[in-house]
Each structure stands twice: as C-alpha cells, then as structure tokens.
Structure 1
Amino acid sequence: MRACRALIVAAVTFIFAAPSFGAEETYMAVMLNGVKIGSAFSSRQAQGGRVTHTESMSIKLMRGQTPLDISIAISSEETEDGKPISFEAQQDLGLSRMSTKGVIGADGMLDVVVNSPESTQNRRMPWPKGALLSEGLRLQARRHGLTEGVSYQTKMYDPSTMVAMNMTVTIGAKEQVDLLGRVVQLVKVIAVCGEGPLAGTTTINWCDDNYDILKSRIEMGGMMLDMISCDKTFALSPSQDSDYFDSLLVSSPQPISKQELTSALKYTIRPRNDATLSIINTGNQKVEALADGGMIVTVTPARPPSGQSLPLGDLNKELIEATRPNEYMQSDHEAVADLARQAIAGATDAAQAAMKIEQFVHEYITTKDLSVGYATAAEVVASRQGDCTEHAVLAGAMCRSVGIPARLVAGVAYTPAFASRLEIFVPHMWVQVNINGQWMDIDPALGFDSGHIAIAWSNGEAVSFLSLSRMLGNYRIEQVEAP
C-alpha cells in the first residue's frame, strides 16, 4: 500500500528536472516539510564550444523503521548556444537501478539505451521539437530576463524519464527568502506544466540577479519538498528521519465490514482547502460531480467480463499502446513473458487470463516489504520482492505480454487498521485491464473490492503519478453507504 512512494519519486524527479538557470557549482539541502532528508549538487563546465551540466541528488526516507534511499544523477552535453548533444541519467530507487544514455543525431533522431540489472532496451525516436536541456533552458531564461510580469513558454526535456514537458514560466516579484537562516532578496519564478498527467504541477524557484536558483519548491499531497542552497558541509551532513506517510492517510467516517466490501459502495468526497478534486471514471467506478466541488464516487467490485478471446483483436491506438513494453512494464522481457505464459495456462478467455495473472503475482512475490523504491517488472521477477507498486508493475507487464491492454492505477484502499490508525484509507496501486472495451480492476496485492478508490492512471512512469498530488491530503471522505 505504498503508491505514495511512487509519488515521492515523481516529485523528486520533477523538482530535479525543472528549469535550471545555472550556477557553476551549487550545493543544496533537500527538505521535506522542513526536515532535512538529503542533499543535491549541480555544476556547469564550458570547454571547447561545449557545455556540460551535472546534477545529483540523494535522499533518505523512512516508513516506520524501514528506510528508503533514493539517488538520481543527470548529466547533459550541449553546444555553447544550447543545442542538445547527449545526456545520461542514473536512478537508484532501492532495489531498482536504471541508467539511460541518449544521443541526439544531426538528423534530429534520438538514440537511447536504457539499462537495468535485468534488461537492456534500445530505442530510436524523434527528438521532441523545441525541447531543451539545462544549458538551453539557462540561455532562454537570460534572454527573457527577470522583469516582474514576464511570461514565456518553454519545453523542458527530463533525461531521467525521457519526457518533454511544456512549461509556462512566469517571473514574479522580488521577495525576502529564508535560506536556512540567511535571509536574502530573490526573484520568484513560477514554472507550471501545461499538459498531460502533470498538467498544473508547479515548481517555484527563487533566483538571484545572476539567474542562479537558490531555492526550489514543489507541493504535493499536503507535503512540501524544498531544495535550498547552502554550504557543502551542511548539504552533506546526516539526514533526519522523516516519516512522510502519515499525512497521506484519510480517515473513514465509519468502519466498513468485509461483507460490505464485496458489494457496491457510494462515497461522498469533498475537497479541503479549496482543492480541486480529480477522480477517474472506470468500468468499476462511476463519478458524479456535485455543485459544491465535491464528488459522489460509486465503486462496484465486478470482475472483468468473460467471453473475449485471446489474443484481442481490432484494438484502437490507445489500447495498442497499452499492450506495448516500456521502461518499467517490460512485457517483452523473456523472464516476464515466461511467467505470463505460466500464469495463464488453461485460461479460456482474456478475463480468466487476467485473473490468473492477478493470483499468480500475489503468490509469486514472496517478500512483501517497503524497501523497494520503484522497481521494473524484470527486477521484480528476479527479486520476488516489493509491495503494491511491484505487484502492479509485474502484473501489468505480464498482462501486456499476453496481449491484454493494461495500465497502472493509483488511489486509496480501505483497511481496518494501519500502524496506529484505525478505519483508514491508505495510498495504494493496482492494475486495470481493458476487456470488452472497459477498464476493469485487478489487484494482485490485496484483491480488488469496493474499498478501492481510483484517482489516476499511468503507463508506469513514476513521474506521471504527480497527478495524485492534487488529491492526496487534499480531500476528506464524508460518507460511505450502499448505493
């Protein structure tokens, strides 16, 4: 039940990739809700007509007594006028380790090699038109200046996720900013992602007159992640324990019995602090918007409908994409495909195959713990370790491997007790499969019931779970009843 760890990974990735205007060398402390959880470092070197930006971040999170160490390192090479040449990214998310190397050719094509301990993927694709790396972003910022009210569009490419994000950058006023006890006057710069699952995700940067960012902030799910400029000694000093999970739990207004969870339930959900609710419709979940900004969500624990044979035919573009492998759901990996074939042995249709995969993954992952950040399907096959995210990634990849369109879904799930809390909804991740034209839920970690409320879906990229930030910690469940 740790979909929020994917959210933390996504937030770290997003704030780390956000427009950087560039000092030659900077150390930063990484703070979560005012508690130091790690450090970041960036440098810029110009030589021989080329500019290299190097950035690294290391953080430590706690869930009770279980530590989770996350590190990200990115380097990019560009011409002195900001034209992208190449990049490298390395991510260590506990059990999961991934490296990405990309080269942009003169023909405008991007050749990428993605390595994880269990697989190597080679990809070739067009470089996104107008996308910029660190030096390009830095030069663009200098061209626009720091006059209050200036606003411009940019396209930021994140090497760690291989995603190009359209951003609106707006220059704000100068204001006094506390840099861990040192108060300085800085310009506020707001960068807002404009489309896709990250639409509305905002990073606030405070920079000096040299365009050096001295503080960055992203808020998500009631949590505040900051990077603050400081000296090297403090940046590299030991981190403090930070249990970030409790703020994401949502109390149930009443106990829900096991019997009630087997039938449809209707939830009345209302926002906190003027937040905007965003909850998806699915084959198992219907959403009705209320005039006051609240929502009524009805969840029916129906199983996928039978009768559709494998392989599925006549899929539209969306569903074809949902059968393809990607960096996390490696459905073309030999070990993943072998498990999928084992799991569906004897299945007579797509629904039965999906449910066999659900049960197979539940039994296959034998070490169910919190020490994994966000592993790929192939890594889960090898380790047989993880929590709900690893169950979902592996099951989704196995479904795709046998031709069943699958995606990951994140939301909350009811439990009568969690840690010291009773009658609580906790962040959770599971799988949706498309059968007979409907996205239906399966949950290899817990089994699907009406205690699941789906908030957002993803193809597996950790950064896409930032869309959860508009919900987690920003709503309350007022009523639970039979429809």
Structure 2
Amino acid sequence: MHKIRVDIHIGVVVSSHAWVDGEGELYEEEIALGPIKMAAVRISGNEPVPPSNGELAEMFEPTILRLAKPVRDPGGVRRAVFRLQFETPEEAAAMYQDEAQRILDRSGGAVRIEVEPCAPPSPIALAAAAPPPGGEAYVQPSSLVQADDPAIAAAAREAIGEETEAWKAAKRLERWTHERIRTKSLGVVFASAKETLETREGDCTEHAALLVALCRAAGLPARAAAGLIYSEAIDGFGYHMWAEVYLDGWRDLDATRPGDPVDAMRIQLGASALEDARFASDLSVNLLKYLGRFSIEALQAER
C-alpha cells in the first residue's frame, strides 16, 4: 500500500491523502478543507447511493458559526451590527464592504460591521440599467450562467412581464426563481443556470446562478455574492450564496430567502461575476480562506 499526499494552493491550502495498492487502485482518500474533513473508502456492493440532505448537513456542521444568543425570525431583521473576530489583523483588514455592508471600525483582528440591505435611492428604468465601469463581465454569459440561452431569456421575459422599472423587475425575477426551484436540495453540486431551470432543484448556489443568469438575460448587470447567512434551522451562520444587481450600487437579491429588501442577518465576504476563468479563484478567495478562522457576535438586530 502506498500513501500519496497532494496540496493544492487556491488562496487556501486543500490537502488530500490517498492510499493506493500496488496496481494503482485507490483504496482510501481523505481531504481536509479548513474545518471540513471528508473521507472516501472503497467498498464492494451495488451502485452508490447519493447522500441524503441530513448526511450532507452533518458534513457541513463544523463550518456553522453560532451566536451566544440565538436570533428568532432572522428574515425580519432589517439592520444588524456584528463584531467579527479574525485570527489575524490582515484578515480583518481585507473584510468586504459595499452599499449594504459598511465597516464601522477595526481593531487588530476585530471588525465591527453594519449590514442594511436597501433598494436603489430612486427608480431606474430597466432599459437604462448598466454595469459599473469595467464591469462588462456582469452582463455577459458564461458556462455557469447561460444568459444567452433561449430558455433562460424566455423565462426572464415571463417573470418580468410588463414591468419596466429595474428594481421591481429584479424583485420579480427573485420571486420567480424562488418559486421555480421546488426541491431545495443540498445534493446538487453547483449546477449551471440552464440545468437548474430544467431540473428545478438545488441549494443556494443553484438559486444564485439561475437568478444571475435571468437578471443578465433581462439586461440587469448581476453577480453572485458569497458569505454567510443566519438560519434558525441550523441555529447559526452557514456559508451561503445569493445574487446582486447593479442599480446605482450593488443591491442584494436572495432567491432562497426573498424579501424587499432582503434581511440583514447575512455577512458578505466577497463577490464573483461567475466567469469561467475566475470562478474557482473567486470562491477560494472569498470563502475558503476564511473557513474556521473567525467568530461572530451579534451586537444589534433591528426590525
């Protein structure tokens, strides 16, 4: 039996150990990604059985960040203030901020942030929506968000109907996506927007990819936001992905937990245009490098 170690550096180190026999056949493999430990062992038997939602939830249990005092009805929180304690000052200095998430102060490895998602300050015509300077990637299709696919374009037209105001159109797309994906499943591994439109199942990543594609098909600059969201179901913050549209700044949309605006019980760590060449690096920089490296304290939660 031979042991093989592989370290992959993608902004964070992903380490794997594999045991192979003399014929090169894999016997066992272990992968460590921050606090997540995964193991695969070769067994005999019938066709593999896909893991259940419960089994997948158990695997992600180590990544959940819990608060000292639970927050009830997080979907009703409109403004929140959090204190994040990172392991290093450098991690704290890199904390993300935009129109909905403002850094109030930093001290060493601690950051205090205010989260208050909001609609654009004034109406914008759907036909006038445009990306920020240098943001052409936010309106273009990719292999993950096929905004130029006829079925995606038809779905966007169906969802928007006769609406001509950009933010109202975006909210219609958010609601349509929420209702379209009927099976909320953790068992889907980052399906594309077109696949999700057809299968109507997936978790937050599928909701986000489909919503981004629909927005772009409708002429709305859009990207995916990566971070954490508080859920009563897990009694803490879990890693999450949602969508944003650019309308006089970036505005949050969340097809898994829609609201007008979306709730403030979320912390954004970064964003991605979901481009083919950059998606993996965006994910590693925005999410993976923070796994297990900070804690959260909720200071305020206003309704």
> Superposed, which structure 2 residues align to 1:149-164 within 5 Å?
none
Of 174, 183, 199, the residue aligned with 1:367 is 183
How far is 1:451 from its partner? 0.6
Of 252, 266, 273, the residue aligned with 1:441 is 252
Of 271, 283, 289, the residue aligned with 1:465 is 283
Secondary structure of the residue aligned to 2:239 is strand
Of 16, 20, 26, the residue aligned with 1:236 is 26
1:319 aligns with 2:111: no
Which residue pairs with 1:279 in the alignment?
95
Which residue pairs with 1:392 in the alignment?
208
CA deviations on 1:99-133 (whole Å, 9 max, x unpaired) are xxxxxxxxxxxxxxxxxxxxxxxxxxxxxxxxxxx
Equivalent residues of 1:407, 1:432 under 8 A apart: yes
Equivalent residues of 1:305, 1:351 under 8 A apart: no
1:251 aligns with 2:251: no
Structure (1 or 2) with the greater helix fraction = 2
Secondary structure of the residue aligned to 1:245 is helix
Q: Which amino acid aligns with 2:254?
A: D
1:301 aligns with 2:301: no
Q: Distance in 2 between matches of 1:259 and 1:368?
A: 19
| RMSD (Å), alpha carbons | 2.8
CA deviations on 1:313-348 (whole Å, 9 max, x unpaired) are 564443332111111111000111100011111323
Q: Distance in 1 between matches of 2:23 and 2:14?
A: 23
CA deviations on 1:251-276 (whole Å, 9 max, x unpaired) are 11222232784321100000137772
Structure (1 or 2) with the greater strand fraction = 1
CA deviations on 1:53-72 (whole Å, 9 max, x unpaired) are xxxxxxxxxxxxxxxxxxxx
Equivalent residues of 2:103, 2:112 under 8 A apart: yes
Which residue pairs with 2:31 in the alignment?
none
CA deviations on 1:223-245 (whole Å, 9 max, x unpaired) are 95314474356752362499541
Query: Percent of counterpart pairs with the same letter?
Result: 28
Which residue pairs with 1:415 in the alignment?
231
Normalised by the length of structure 1, the TM-score is 0.51
Equivalent residues of 2:74, 2:230 under 8 A apart: no
Of 230, 237, 240, the residue aligned with 1:425 is 237
Secondary structure of the residue aligned to 1:276 is helix
Residues 384 and 260 of structure 1: is their aligned pair in 2 closer, same or farther, counting only changes over 3 Å? closer
Equivalent residues of 1:268, 1:297 under 8 A apart: yes
Equivalent residues of 2:129, 2:247 under 8 A apart: no
1:342 aligns with 2:154: no
CA deviations on 1:452-477 (whole Å, 9 max, x unpaired) are 11111111224420011221211001
Equivalent residues of 2:5, 2:15 under 8 A apart: no
How many residues get paired? 268
How far is 1:402 from its partner? 1.0
Residues 372 and 249 of structure 1: is their aligned pair in 2 closer, same or farther, counting only changes over 3 Å? same
Equivalent residues of 2:78, 2:264 under 8 A apart: yes
Residues 217 and 342 of structure 1: is their aligned pair in 2 closer, same or farther, counting only changes over 3 Å? same
Secondary structure of the residue aligned to 1:270 is strand
Equivalent residues of 1:221, 1:471 under 8 A apart: no
Equivalent residues of 2:88, 2:109 under 8 A apart: no
Of 276, 297, 300, the residue aligned with 1:478 is 297
Residues 324 and 288 of structure 1: is their aligned pair in 2 closer, same or farther, counting only changes over 3 Å? same
Residues 224 and 328 of structure 1: is their aligned pair in 2 closer, same or farther, counting only changes over 3 Å? closer
Instruction: Indicate the structure whose relative CO is greater, using CA pairs within 8 Å and at least 6 residues apart.
Output: 2
Of 211, 216, 224, the residue aligned with 2:6 is 216
Which residue pairs with 2:145 in the alignment?
329
Normalised by the length of structure 2, the TM-score is 0.79
Which residue pairs with 2:33 in the alignment?
none
Q: Distance in 2 between matches of 1:364 and 1:370?
A: 16
Of 60, 76, 81, the residue aligned with 1:266 is 81
Secondary structure of the residue aligned to 1:250 is coil
Residues 368 and 304 of structure 1: is their aligned pair in 2 closer, same or farther, counting only changes over 3 Å? farther
Secondary structure of the residue aligned to 2:232 is strand
Which residue pairs with 2:48 in the alignment?
none
1:351 aligns with 2:167: yes
Q: Distance in 1 between matches of 2:8 and 2:76?
A: 36
* Greater Rg over alpha carbons, structure: 1
Equivalent residues of 2:130, 2:221 under 8 A apart: no
Secondary structure of the residue aligned to 1:290 is strand
Q: Distance in 1 between matches of 2:140 and 2:19?
A: 42
